[in-house]
Amino acid sequence: MPYEDRARLAGLWQAEIDLFRAQRPRSAQLFAEATPHLPDGVPMLWMAKWPGPWPVYVQSASGSHFLDVDGIDHVDLCLGDTGAMCGHAPPPAVAAISAQLAKGSTFMLPTADAAAAAALLAERFGVPAWQFSLSATDANRSLIRYARQVTGRPKIVVHDYCYHGTVDEAYATLDDSGAVVERRGTIGAPVPPSLTTAVVPFNDIEALEVVLATGEIAAMLMEPALTNIGIVLPDPGYHAAVRELCTRFGVILIIDETHTLSAGPGGMIARDGLDPDAVVVGKSIGGGIPAGAYGMTASFSALVRESLELEDIDVGGVGGTLAGNALSLAGIRATLSQVLTADAFPTMIDRATEWTVGVQSALDEFHVPWQVTQLGARAEYSFRQTAPHDGAEAAHADDFELQQYLHLHALNRGILITPFHNMALMAPSTTAADVERHTVAFREAVVSLFA
Ligand code: PMP
């Protein structure tokens, strides 16, 4: 167990619960009003994972801050788990989206923004052919279908402890014997995941070669660094080896940059010169409204298109009535050209460096055996001494109670970090003072636990 003094932790937790209750009466009232029709008072059950006796209800947000209904200002380092990486309500995106909304939002016909958005994405990620969705999940689902279609193979391979949205095939982990099993907590799996999915540890080239050599694999779906089980960075040479194996075995290599876009304007693909067959982005690219996109090389795109009959193209399993709608496309075009620009990233990355230094200095001061990893504008600490090398190592360092305490401690001091792990993300509008608020509060939390 990463933190031994459970009695101390229990006492600290109770004190933070009491503080939360005292500070948030209006949220309590909204919670009471919501529960008759919303299980747990939230529109999505996973929102119940936030720490505290009831959710914080939001009043309004702007840039890197939000105000809750009790009038408390928060520095938002969660940023909608990347959905609001642009900062809340970025003015150029709001203007473009509002203007399009007033002119109609969904036609099942393209607007001029569609080609402009695709060209912006092509320039950033280096693959020319783009399609749009309402979420990164759906972009992943669509590419998996296309990969099966053109290869005629049944399975995909993913990394142990990956997350790619609610994609059935990706809910698979390795058990202690190395067998593919349902990930803990999987809800209602349609079939055993070993039928659809092979799983390899991150950074394990030998395991990948064994799996690809079976000839059953249509696609490899991967984040270029794991970001959903803490941050796990690739070893030097890992990406080149993955590329070589996928080419050798005719496997479509899909790189999901939904979170790793934090590395720079073209994600890790552009920063590190990666060479995928297909790319997925989502969450932040619409400036705060639902939008996802997937790009393909010319050869993969041509294979897909040649394999489809026009007569059946609407019922093949890649669709979405509102996917590619005019509102999303207006949002993407404005966001990529005016908000999440190449010029915005150096500042965001500087802020994440400051956050990392702040966390590290508190850990050093009190000799705490935890580590911090930064990936561009995103950073994360984990309850282990060295950076994790694969997903299982990262997962084993988890301590849910400790994490909940740290998150509630931060929340009570006006700081929001993602409820899923200990991650902070910087928007173009995040300031040094915002980061400093976290640095001060984190040190205080470390004192409470270790001093
Ligand atoms: N891919 C990655 C890498 C993600 O982290 C997530 C969500 N955390 C998704 C896809 C799915 O995004 P969405 O829930 O917006 O579909």
- Which residues does a 6 A CB cutoff place in the pocket of ligand 1? 81, 135-137, 163-165, 223, 228, 256, 258-259, 282-283
**Does residue 47 belong to any structural domain of this protein?**
yes
Residue 73 lies inside a defined structural domain of this protein: yes
> Is 285 found in the same domain as 151?
yes
Residue nearest to atom 7 of ligand 1 (CA): 165
Whether residues 38 and 54 share a domain: the answer is: yes
What domain range is 417 assigned to?
Answer: 6-88+343-450
**Predicted local confidence at residue 124, as pLDDT:** 98
- For residue 35, pLDDT over 90 is answered with yes
**Domain count for the chain:** 2
214 shares its domain with 356: no
Structural domain contains residue 80:
yes
Domain end marker among 303, 323, 338: 338
The answer as to whether 43 is a domain residue is: yes
Domain endpoint, select from 338, 373, 392: 338
Mean pLDDT of 206-218: 98
Nearest-angstrom CA–CA distance, 86 and 29: 31
Task: Report pLDDT digits (tens) over 56-87.
Answer: 999 999 999 999 999 999 999 999 999 999 99
What is the C-alpha separation between 267 and 339, in angstroms, rounded? 15
Ligand 1 pocket, mutate which of 44, 132, 141, 258 (most atoms under 8 A from CB) = 258
Looking at the structure, do residues 243 and 303 belong to the same domain, yes or no?
A: yes
Flag the least confident range among 92-96, 139-143, 308-312, 348-352.
308-312
Average pLDDT, rounded, for the chain = 97
Do 118 and 237 lie in a common domain?
yes
Measure 410 CA to ligand 1 centroid, in angstroms: 24
Expressed in angstroms and rounded, the spacing between residue 167 Cα and the centre of ligand 1 is 9
Give pTM, 2 decimals. Answer: 0.98
Region 123-128 average pLDDT: 98
Ligand 1 center to 82 CA (angstroms) = 9
- Report the distance separating Cα 384 and Cα 393, nearest Å: 9
Residue 140 lies in a domain: yes
In this structure, the strands spanning 252-256 and 278-281 are: parallel
Q: Are residues 136 and 165 both part of a single domain?
A: yes
CA of 338 from ligand 1 middle (Å) equals 23
| Nearest-CA residue for atom 4 of ligand 1 | 164
Residue 34 sits in the same domain as residue 58? yes
Give residue for tokens 């747990």: 40
Residue 1 has pLDDT above 70, yes or no: no
Average of per-residue pLDDT across 382-389: 97
Residue 247's alpha-carbon distances to 240, 243, 250, 363, 390, in angstroms, are 11, 6, 5, 43, 23
Average pLDDT of span 410-419: 96
- For residue 128, tell me if it sits in a domain: yes
In this structure, the answer to whether residues 102 and 68 fall within a common structural domain is: no
Do the domain assignments include residue 441?
A: yes
CA of 139 to the centre of ligand 1 (A): 10
Q: What is the pLDDT of residue 419?
A: 87
- For 318-335, write each residue's pLDDT tens digit: 999 999 999 999 999 999
Same domain (yes/no): 180, 289: yes
What are the pLDDT digits (tens) for 226-244?
A: 999 999 999 999 999 999 9
For ligand 1, pick from 47, 163, 262 the residue to mutate: most ligand atoms within 8 Å of CB: 163
Atom of ligand 1 nearest to the CA of 81: 8
**How confident is the model at residue 429, as a pLDDT?**
98
Q: How high is the pLDDT of residue 2?
A: 79
- Atom of ligand 1 at shortest range from CA of 260: 3
Give, for ligand 1, the residue of 164, 167, 254, 423 to mutate: max count of ligand atoms closer than 8 Å to Cβ.
164
Question: Are 256 and 126 in the same domain?
Answer: yes
Whether the per-residue pLDDT at 293 is higher than 90: the answer is yes
Same domain, 82 and 130: no
* CATH number of the domain where residue 153 is located: 3.40.640.10
Residue 1 lies in a domain: no
* pLDDT per position as a tens digit, 339-356: 999 999 999 999 999 999
| Boundary (domain end) residue, out of 338, 359, 378 | 338
Same domain, 251 and 356: no
Query: Tell me, what's the pLDDT at 176?
Result: 95
CATH number for position 368: 3.90.1150.10
Integer Cα distance of 198 and 38 in angstroms: 37
